[in-house]
Amino acid sequence: MDIDAVSFVGSGLQRPECVLCTAHGDIFAADWRGGVAHILPTGEQRLYQGMTPDGRLLRPNGIALNADGSFLVADLGEEKGGVFRLTRDGEVSVFVDRVDGKELPPSNFVFTDCARRTWITVSTRRIPRATAYRSDVADGFVVLADEKGARIVADGLGYTNEAAIHPDGRWLYVNETFGRRLVRYPIQANGELGSKDVVTEFGEGTYPDGLTFDAEGCAWITSIVSNRVIRVLPDGSQRLMLQDADAEHVAWTEKAFRQNELGRPHLDHIRGRRLRNISSLAFGGRDLRTIYLGCLQGDSIACLHQGIPGHPPSHWNYR
């Protein structure tokens, strides 16, 4: 895909880390003004924002769209997180903030699958989170919330990031950002997970963050730092689809990562010609052939038409 063909929608967004698209042409993005930014098909923008029950401004990282038009927000607070339900009127209520009797740490991602099960990822138990930007730290986990309650179903992950159900419904795929791999777990009939299987490992400059699937069952991965989009085939082989990397910055980051010195400066000042630290990807457009990119340092949503249709997410027909 040609980086010069990238265009942008929306304006004035703050840290649109996660982006969602629907069949009706709506685009939703996490927004650090305290909630969810909504870009309507007309181009009009709205902001749905709120405060947590304990008085904190929401710090949304991942978001999910509910059938009733409300949202689930994975809160990336400084010292604690949780998942909250946010209505378009600004009402906020707790969805899950404790698991196994303990408060959830800053929470990364949330999505609800077609079976109405909600999956939550927590990157690390360490506070501050930056102390887990290492290959030898693996304390991230996945929470499943269903009619049985909320419980940890996968643990020991190397900075858990976005997760998604494979289109065949049999596997939960998970990105380990600083483990630098895509893994998957078989989903059992009761929602519990089987043993972890490594789908593919990523090399220099790739730190997997966003994750979604196309209609052919291939995973699409976004990489922070290097502004890459990678398509992972069912056999684990990788195809680089898009890149807007600054070689000098990538080399500086790689050196710090190898020496266990990676920190916020390496992630907060990404230089690209068009893109500003890609963190998520969603397929949209009427034919699901347009990709929309959430960028941590962006103030709009990048988009690019391409030839491979996406797999419609569980919220595709919601409004």
d(CA 174, CA 123): 11
Q: What's the token pair of residue 262?
A: 């990676």
CA 175 to chain CA mean position, Å: 9
Round to whole Å and give the CA distance between 62 and 223: 16
How many domains is the chain partitioned into structurally? 1
Cα 67 to Cα 37: distance, rounded to the nearest angstrom: 17
pLDDT at position 271 is: 79
Q: Are 221 and 229 in contact (CB under 8 A)?
A: yes
Residue 286 lies in a domain: yes
Q: Is residue 244 included in any domain, yes or no?
A: yes
Domain annotation covers residue 316 = no
CA-to-CA distance for 199 and 211, rounded, in angstroms?
A: 13
Calculate ∠ Cα 210-295-213, nearest 5°. Answer: 25
CATH number of the domain encompassing residue 71: 2.120.10.30
**297 found inside a domain:** yes
Rounded to an integer, what distance in angstroms lies between the CA atom of residue 163 and that of residue 62? 10
Place of tokens 């969603």: 282
Whether residue 318 lies inside any domain: the answer is no
- Cβ atoms within 10 Å of 74's Cβ, excluding its own: 30
In a domain, 167, yes or no: yes
Put simply, whether the predicted model's pTM sits higher than 0.95 gets the answer yes
Host domain of residue 209 = 3-305
One-letter amino acid at 10 equals G
Question: Which of the 8 DSSP states describes residue 42?
Answer: T
Would you put residue 256 in left (φ > 0), alpha (ψ -120 to 50) or beta? alpha
Per-residue pLDDT of the chain (319 residues; tens, 9 = 90+): 999 999 999 999 999 999 999 999 999 999 999 999 999 999 999 999 999 999 999 999 999 999 999 999 999 999 999 999 999 999 999 999 999 999 999 999 999 999 999 999 999 999 999 999 999 999 999 999 999 999 999 999 999 999 999 999 999 999 999 999 999 999 998 889 999 999 999 999 999 999 999 999 999 999 999 999 999 999 999 999 999 999 999 999 999 999 999 999 999 988 799 999 999 999 999 999 999 999 999 999 999 999 999 999 999 999 9
Quote the CA–CA distance of 274 and 227 in Å, as a whole number. Answer: 10
- Asked, for residue 310, whether it belongs to a domain, the answer is no
Q: Is residue 317 domain-resident?
A: no
